[in-house]
Amino acid sequence: MNIRKIVTTVEEIRTEGGRQVTPAARIAVVAAVIENPWAGQGFVDDLAPGIAANASDIGAVLAPAVLDALDAPAEAYGKAAVVGLDGEIEHGSALIHTLQFGDHFRKAANATTLLPAVEKRGAAGTVFDIPLKHITDATVRSHHQTTEVRISDAPHPGEIVIALAAAAQGRPQQRLAPLSTER
């Protein structure tokens, strides 16, 4: 796995709807810009060797990094892959939709739910939204949220941006009734 760079962002929301958020709502994103292991090979029928060579390693790098950046226990999480223009969306999906990748984050966050994801293909500077859901109960509405990410110089045509996001809470000032209250 060839990592060109790692980008870390932490957002702190201190007021929402004109009211103070206490404690401040934190969302962290850690993204690695990696060389696409299938770039330049034309259509690759069997992605398994590239998955085996890369998915676990990138998960092992990103999972502890995003939790360290969050600096609080994670309550919501998500993942993303943005493939450069010389690749296929399937290349990003192949890396992030595996237990070899996702289980690093699940174990580190003590999570049990499906890790929500977004995948897309785009040029450098493509904006993407990472969906987040509660780490143990996907029906908890307060934790259904997104965070917007953009890396100005990535992905290059032969690269993939792989990102993990974690939130220390649900949406600031959330007021929706629990899903269980609807009939």
Percent of the chain at pLDDT > 70 equals 100
Average pLDDT over residues 21-26: 95
- pLDDT at position 178 is 73
Q: Is the confidence at residue 181, as pLDDT, over 80?
A: no
Structure tokens at 40: 């330049």
Question: Whole-angstrom Cα distance, residue 20 to residue 18?
Answer: 7
Within 8 A by CB and 6+ apart from 86, the residues are 36, 39, 40, 157, 158
Q: What is the pLDDT of residues 74-126, one digit of tens each?
A: 999 999 999 999 999 999 999 999 999 999 999 999 999 999 999 999 999 99
What is the residue whose two structure tokens read 């974690």? 166
Average pLDDT over residues 22-50: 96
**What's the DSSP call for residue 11?**
E
Structure tokens at 158: 């032969």
Fold for domain 3-181? 60s Ribosomal Protein L30; Chain: A; (3.30.1330)
**What's the DSSP call for residue 94?**
H
Q: What is the pLDDT of residues 120-153, one digit of tens each?
A: 999 999 999 999 999 999 889 999 999 999 999 9
Residue 36: strand, helix, or coil: coil
Cis? peptide before 73, omega within 30° of 0 = no
Can you give the residue ranges of every domain in the chain?
3-181
Report the mean per-residue pLDDT for the chain: 96
Question: Whole-angstrom Cα distance, residue 140 to residue 44?
Answer: 39
Q: Is the confidence at residue 175, as pLDDT, over 90?
A: no
Structure tokens at 157: 């045509």
